[in-house]
Amino acid sequence: MRPGLQSKLIRSFLSLLFLFLLIQTCFVYLLKCSFLLSSMLGVVFVIPLFFLVSRRFIKPILDLTRRTMELASGHQGVETHVYPDDELGDLSKAIVEMSLQLRDQIGEVSREKEYQQAILGGMAEGVLLVDGRGRVLLVNEALQRLLSISSRVTGKTTLEIIRSAELEEAIQDALHEGVNRTFEITLPPSGEKTFQVNIAGIPSSSNEPNPEMKGVIAVFHDITRLKDLERVRQDFAANVSHELRTPLTTIKGYAETLLEGALKDEVAFQFVQVIKRHADRLAQIVEDLLTLSKIESKGFQLKMETIPVYELIGDCIDFLKESAQKKMISISRNEVLPSLAVYGDRHFLEQVLINLLDNAVKYTSEDGKVEILVTEKENKEILFLIKDDGIGIPKEELHRIFERFYRVDKGRSKDLGGTGLGLSIVKHIIQAHHGRIWAESQPGKGSSFYFTLPHDADAQEKGFKDHQNNP
């Protein structure tokens, strides 16, 4: 059996008592001292020994008390001396064990917190967490970015950081009535972004039949792009029907008039001419739609080749020379090195340049000026600029001109034979060539259309093989 603390104390006490009696006896019998004097001398000898012995028991207790208090105050690196094999030894071992477990648990909690932060930080969706009083506990980085919210919002009400009565109402319903909801909302209410918001209450851990929640989590999915695409798709369906219906109605009307007897009239020839013009327009729309669907179709492939820039531009200018001359519009170009070449599909790149030049000529009044400027950029791109001094495009419409059927002046475009699909086709072709396209314009002063194409050598180096949409 191991010696316990209590038996050690009794042994030490008995040893001291024995020592005291021994000293006292020695003084009484050997030195013939009085009993009182020998007792006093015995006490004088034994007291320092008593302090020494008591220190042996009290010191470890003081030491363990200090280290336990350090642990309680959150100090993790507590080193505890392990005492001999008695109750104090057990206590010191328990403290060491406790400190190790505490260190593990704290490590685990901080690891979990790091994972949580990494997940919340890496999410594309915005996350808002509120407590049972409707106060903000957490707003992740995505939501801060999406709604330009500051990171210091803890403790504020949701209304203070996101001014939406609808959102606030949904959060309160989830908190007090346990109603989870999914809805669409435009934020800020001025209407810049559309979100799909999922609101869910966090139930309190008690099993009481209490509908009150411990908090609420709101997840914001940015569906602005989806909504835009949906709008473009709806507009497209409506536009196609409208675009096709107008010439068809005219053709039908004139054909019926001819059938009803006008065939023999003098106007018959004019009627047939109108029918022909509208049939041509129909054919042009169908042609453009087919080109668009071809470029967008799975498996669409460009036939890539090295094309000298001066050759590409020269061919396109030749193609438009006649229509430009009719309006006395000059088309000029800057000098480019004969070695400057792009890597692309000749047929489609000609279509891009012809479309942009045709627009420049169409939307520029007589005696106007159209320029083509080509520059080689440091980042191994070739920048093309088609610039005119025509009617220009209002700033608020500029971002929409690449949409299908979008026309700034519908009447004028139709009169000039436009289908409203040209720029949309151009954009798709440039993107298929890994390029970018954009426009700048000032109404009344003219427009500039920019697009980039990879330099021939760079494209080959990067291995731009024949472009193919993912099948």
Range 425-464, binding ligand ADP (CB under 6 A): 447
Taking the least distance from each CB to ligand ADP, the nearer of 98 and 286 is 286
| 40-41-44-46 Cα dihedral, nearest 10 degrees | -100
Told to check if 409 binds ligand ADP by CB under 6 A, we report yes
Pairwise CA distance, residues 362 & 386, whole Å: 13
Question: What values do phi and psi take at 450, rounded to 5?
Answer: -110, 145
Pick the piece of the chain touching ligand ADP (CB under 6 A) from 4-12, 87-95, 316-324, 387-395. Answer: 387-395
Told to check if 291 binds ligand ADP by CB under 6 A, we report no
Nearest residue to ligand ADP, scored by beta-carbon proximity: 418
Pairwise CA distance, residues 341 & 305, whole Å: 10
In the complex, minimum distance from the CB of residue 419 to ligand ADP, in angstroms, rounded to a whole number: 5
Pairwise CA distance, residues 49 & 7, whole Å: 18
Taking the least distance from each CB to ligand ADP, the nearer of 128 and 391 is 391
Pairwise CA distance, residues 345 & 352, whole Å: 11
In the complex, minimum distance from the CB of residue 386 to ligand ADP, in angstroms, rounded to a whole number: 8
Taking the least distance from each CB to ligand ADP, the nearer of 83 and 405 is 405
Is the separation of the CB atoms in 176 and 210 below 8 Å?
A: no
Pick the piece of the chain touching ligand ADP (CB under 6 A) from 102-110, 224-232, 328-336, 355-363. Answer: 355-363
In the complex, minimum distance from the CB of residue 331 to ligand ADP, in angstroms, rounded to a whole number: 13
Cis peptide before 209 (omega within 30 of 0): no
Give me 204's structure tokens.
């309190």
In the complex, minimum distance from the CB of residue 360 to ligand ADP, in angstroms, rounded to a whole number: 5
- For ligand ADP, which residue of 360, 430, 432, 437 counts as binding (CB under 6 A)? 360
Strand order in the sheet with 193-203: 136-139, 126-131, 213-222, 193-203, 181-187
Told to check if 374 binds ligand ADP by CB under 6 A, we report no
User: Nearest CA to 284 among 246, 328, 229?
Assistant: 246
In the complex, minimum distance from the CB of residue 400 to ligand ADP, in angstroms, rounded to a whole number: 9
Told to check if 368 binds ligand ADP by CB under 6 A, we report no
Pattern 306-345, ligand ADP, x by CB under 6 A: ----------------------------------------
- CA angle (264, 268, 269) in 5-degree steps: 125
In the complex, minimum distance from the CB of residue 185 to ligand ADP, in angstroms, rounded to a whole number: 33
